[in-house]
């Protein structure tokens, strides 16, 4: 993605909260690439991914009009929660930000719920969780 003017502060540097927005973009696209669509999961299965924790470590600034690469991966998952990891790098490979977000699967009432098994493979959840009752 390319840094837009509206995402920068007076110094032309990306305002820190925008990295959390970019994490969300990375997370949604990561899930989409695995065949999971948030909208369908919410509408059809009534499962929400609520943010329980967000961590962001700033290594260097991104500036207006700079190209930024957002890398996203699964760090940890089980039927009740998932942790995503992120790196944001300049197009040249300079580390800008690293971080993670922890999400709890919830029902429409925002109470914790188990992720339906039909999504386990996409979130890297295995047979062991089924047997242990996690």
Domain assignment present for 132: no
Domain membership of residue 104 as a residue range: 5-125
Q: What was the pLDDT predicted at 127?
A: 58
Active-site annotation holder among 9, 45, 65, 109: 9
For residue 79, being part of any structural domain is answered with yes
Can you tell me the distance from the alpha carbon of 81 to that of 100, in angstroms, rounded to the nearest whole number? 13
C-alpha distances in Å from residue 122, one per residue of 35, 84, 116:
7, 13, 11
Nearest one of 10, 3, 31 to 96, comparing CA atoms: 3
Q: What is the pLDDT of residue 131?
A: 44
In a domain, 108, yes or no: yes
The answer to whether residue 131 sits within a structural domain is no
User: What is the pTM for the complete model shown?
Assistant: 0.90
Extended strands (E) in 2-134: 48-58, 68-78, 81-90, 95-106
List pLDDT tens digits, range 6-61: 999 999 999 999 999 999 999 999 999 999 998 999 999 999 999 999 999 999 99
Residue 9 bears catalytic tag: yes
Residue 126: per-residue pLDDT: 82
- Residue 50 makes CB contacts below 8 A (sequence gap 6+) with 103, 104, 105, 106, 110
Q: Does residue 54 form part of some domain? A: yes
Residue 121: count other Cβ atoms within 10 Å of its Cβ: 12
CATH classification of the domain holding 32: 3.10.129.10
Report the number of distinct structural domains present in the chain. 1
The verdict on residue 133 lying in a domain is: no
Residue 133: what pLDDT?
A: 46
**pLDDT tens digits for 77-97?**
999 999 999 999 999 999 999
């Amino acid at each position: 993605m390319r840094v837009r003017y509206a995402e920068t502060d007076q110094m032309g540097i990306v305002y820190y909260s925008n990295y959390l927005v970019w994490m969300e973009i990375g997370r949604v696209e990561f899930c989409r690439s695995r065949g999971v669509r948030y909208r369908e999961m919410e509408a059809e299965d009534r499962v929400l991914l609520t943010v329980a924790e967000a961590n962001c470590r700033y290594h260097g600034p991104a500036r207006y009009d700079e190209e930024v690469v957002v890398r996203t991966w699964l760090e940890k998952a089980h039927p009740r929660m998932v942790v995503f990891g992120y790196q944001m790098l300049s197009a040249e490979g300079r580390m800008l930000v690293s971080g993670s977000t922890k999400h709890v699967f919830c029902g429409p009432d925002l109470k914790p719920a188990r992720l339906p098994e039909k999504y386990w493979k996409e979130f890297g959840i295995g047979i062991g969780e089924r047997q242990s009752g996690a």
